[in-house]
A = this chain, B = another copy of it.
C-alpha cells in the first residue's frame, strides 16, 4: 500500500517536494495559511529548471484538524515556527507515522522528540535554490537534492519507501547518517547565511573579495572541526570539503541564502538551530567555534536592529 503524505508549510521547500510527489501520483495533503483560498481555486504552480508543472487538484487545508492521519509528515516550516508543532501534529499522527523535519541546523529532531517521546522522527536536508514568489507559486532555480537520515525511526522500511517515492518523483533523495548530513549542510549554511546578512551582500560578492573569501573558508573549517569533534569519531568530514563547497557555490546561479531573504523580509532568523545549537554541541565536545560564535552575536544584534 502506498504512503499517505502530509506537508506542513507549503512554501519554497514544501511546495516543491510535496508538489513533485503529488505530480507523480502520490497522495499528498497540504497545509496552507495565506495561500489557502488561492490554491483551493487555482492549484499549485511550480516553475522549475527541471520542467514546469501545475497541479490543478490539490488536497488543501487551512488546519491540520481537517486533515487525515498520514504515514509521513514533511515538516517544511521555518525552524523559528517549530513551537507550533505541538499543536499542529497530533491530528496527523497514527502509531506508525514518520515525521520528516526538512529544516536546516542542528537539534530540531531532539526538541520535537521531547514533546512527542514515542514519535518516529527523521531529518531531511534540502540542497535546493527555490522560492515562493506568489500565492501557490514556487520558483525552483537550481539543484533539488534531499539528504535524509533517521533520528528515531523504529521502522527503517518506511524511510526507504519515502526515498523511493521521492526518487520516483524525480527528486534526488538518499539516505545518510543524519548527524553528519546536518553538519555537512552547516558547512555551507553557517558562512553564507550569516555573512550575507551581516555584510548585506550576496554569496558571489563574498567570493569576489579575497578577505571575505578567506573568512568564508575560515568559518567552514571551524564548522568542520566542530563537526568532527562533536561526532566523536562516529564520522569524519574531510577539511577539503570546504574547498568543494566554495567551488560549488562559485558555479551556483546568483542567489540569496534563505536567512538573507528572511532578513530582507523582516522575518525571524533561524539563528538558534543554525548557530546556537551547533556552537553548544561543539562546546560540549570541547571545541570552541569562536568565529561562528561571533557571527551568531552579530546576527542577534542585526535581528534586533533592522
Contact = CB atoms under 8 A, between A and B. Distances in A.
A197 to B, nearest CB: 11
Interface stretch (A76-84, A203-211, A249-257): A203-211
A80 to B, nearest CB: 16
A267 interface: no
A287 to B, nearest CB: 13
Interface in A251-306: 290-291, 293-298, 300-302, 304-305
A128 to B, nearest CB: 27
B305 A199 contact: yes
Given A199-B305, A301-B212, A305-B199, A294 B218 contact: yes
A149 B305 CA distance: 40
B211 A297 contact: yes
A302 to B, nearest CB: 7
A201 interface: yes
Nearest to A294: B291
Stoichiometry, as copies per complex, reads 2
A3 interface: no
Interface string A51-63: 0000000000000
Contact of A214 (B210, B295, B297): B297
A178 interface: no
Interface size class of A (residues with CB under 8 A): 20 to 34
A124 to B, nearest CB: 30
A215 interface: yes
Contacts of A212: 297-298, 300-301
A298 B209 contact: no
Contact of A199 (B195, B214, B218, B302): B302
B298 A198 contact: yes
Given A198-B198, A198-B199, A199-B198, A209 B290 contact: no
B304 A215 contact: no
A142 to B, nearest CB: 24
B215 A305 contact: no
Contacts of A206: 301
Given A198-B298, A199-B298, A218-B297, 8 more contacts: A198-B198, A201-B301, A205-B305, A209-B300, A209-B304, A211-B297, A212-B300, A290-B290
